[in-house]
Structure 1
Amino acid sequence: MVTLGLIGFGTIAREIVSAFPVDSVCWVALMREGTRRDLPANVSTVTQLDALIGPRPRAVVEAASQEAVAAYVPALLDAGIPTIIASIGAFADPILAARLTDASRNGGARLVLPSGALGGLDYLRAIAALPEARVRYTSRKPPAAWEVELATLGLSAEHDAVSLFEGTPAQAAKLYPKNLNAAFAVALAAGIDKVTVRVVADPKAAGNTHEIEVESTAGTASFRLVNAPSASNPKTSMLTALSLVAALGELLDREGLS
């Protein structure tokens, strides 16, 4: 059996585990002390980073938070363990981004940033070299996904769409660390200085919708993806876990481990 690691064991991690045959993978999940979960038979838990590194997992998937990226991923990469990051918004911190890049180089371990809930990133990487290129990313979700935020602001999106935020990718990553990783994936592909982020609660949204509008000397483009929300967490698209599973499978194939 192949040993693989997880940081966190919430909705996304559970969906990742369920995508692999029970008898082919032994999972080790790093969790906070005192956290209780009903775990599948092939998942064991540890509460210390050394206990995750010790079994030498072939790869680790971070599926917890930007804070978890900062706390654990540099050491995993330094130890030579390939790591896939779900919380791409962590790269909004340039110091942490440099630490991760250096650790990947020093440990000779791949650092994988999956596309998450998005498509069209190849196009964005292509126009990133054009200095005048401009990209607008809009996250449009049903009000249920932003229930707490709407209540905090004293707003209602029962009948009409409400704009909750418009600003830079770094501001978005700080304000919505668990919900706008897709926005920073766009920023990393196109260039942080080229991207504006908007967050909209929309009662007419059919699902978690990502809208990307691009203008440059190479032309114009627009991408619109409507993703079904996760059954367990309406703020997260079902596609997020599928993207991580695909990235993990590709990594194992490349390393000759599947």
Structure 2
Amino acid sequence: MSRLKLGILGSGYLGGIIADAWKNGYLDEYELVGIAGRNEGKTKALAEKTGCRPCADVDELLALKPDYIAEAASVAAVKEMAVKALCAGTSIIVLSIGAFADADFYEEVKNTAVEHGTKVHIASGAVGGFDVLRTVSLMGDAVSGIETRKGPKSLKNTPLFEGHLMTDTEGTEVFAGNAKEAISLLPTKVNVAVAASLATTGPEHTKVNIHSIPGFVGDDHKITAEIKGVKAVVDIYSDTSAIAGWSVVAVLRNLVSPIVF
């Protein structure tokens, strides 16, 4: 059986995790044909390590005719790549889910995929459990929410940061609203809110609460979807972004597995 062609968009830490997983035999059903990234040196080094072609941009990567592109780059990269890839017959695995906070872009991507018979697979990133959250939301008029705990340092350079957070001795709620409002306020830092709202009740109906916790390291996301008689709770803590890269590997493995989880 011929192997599926795989391209990776992003040659940083997360792209490296996907490439290493391929090299170490986790993705034997795929042929890694190319890696594209903004940093020429990192891209060449990663391509040399895995024996594939370094690509200067997504157009060069698409010229290799991959069946799938695994994105581990940025929201901007998704916006540049998604429609091009889908039109070219390449399905995509998206990690930078914040790109879909743009409702018009989301609709364009969805319609393009339908038109060209391709698919967009949303990687779970730093959270998971989207299957059960989506199931509960299909069962009835669900209520969904996300409660996030973060350290104050991680809020720096965002509209939510205030100096007193660094010296507070107790937790502070720094945001309360819906996912649409959170996305508008923090467009590059709300992949979890975007993904959870798409999997449940939508950005306008998914409540979001963000708390600054003194001394807290990492991120803790507690996502709920609830109807009468059924409540699903997914609570994920991580102090490393590595789980995001491995979530792409999990999607790729599921795509070719005879038994799908």
Q: TM-score, normalised by structure 2?
A: 0.81
Matched, 1:51 2:60: yes
Aligned-partner residue type, residue 37 of structure 1: K
Counterpart of 1:195 in structure 2 is 206
1:225 aligned to which of 236, 239, 246 = 236
Matched, 1:183 2:182: no
Counterpart of 1:246 in structure 2 is 250
Q: Distance in 2 between matches of 1:176 and 1:151?
A: 9
Distance 1:80 1:135, change over 3 A: same
Q: How many residues align?
A: 246
Q: Distance in 2 between matches of 1:82 and 1:221?
A: 30
Q: Per-residue displacement from partner, 1:64-100 (whole Å, max 9, x unpaired)? A: 2222222111110111111001111222222111111
2:180 aligned to which of 170, 176, 179 = 170
Q: Deviation of residue 163 (structure 1)?
A: 2.8
Counterpart of 2:124 in structure 1 is 115
Q: Report matched runs for 1:64-103 at 5 Å.
A: 64-103=73-112
Q: TM-score, normalised by structure 1?
A: 0.82
1:161 aligned to which of 168, 171, 190 = 171
Q: Distance in 2 between matches of 1:29 and 1:124?
A: 33
Q: Deviation of residue 245 (structure 1)?
A: 0.7
SS at match of 1:203: coil
Unaligned stretches of 5+ in structure 2? none
SS at match of 2:165: coil
Distance 1:74 1:220, change over 3 A: same
Counterpart of 1:234 in structure 2 is none
1:8 aligned to which of 5, 10, 25 = 10
Unaligned stretches of 5+ in structure 1? 231-236
Counterpart of 1:31 in structure 2 is 37
Which segment drifts farther, 43-52 or 178-187? 43-52
- Whether the 8 Å CA contact 2:95–2:124 is kept in 1: the answer is no
Q: Deviation of residue 29 (structure 1)?
A: 2.5
- Whether the 8 Å CA contact 1:133–1:194 is kept in 2: the answer is no
Q: Deviation of residue 252 (structure 1)?
A: 4.1
Q: Deviation of residue 128 (structure 1)?
A: 2.0
Q: Distance in 2 between matches of 1:160 and 1:76?
A: 47
- Whether the 8 Å CA contact 2:177–2:208 is kept in 1: the answer is yes
How many percent of aligned residue pairs carry the same amino acid?
26
| Pairwise CA RMSD | 2.7
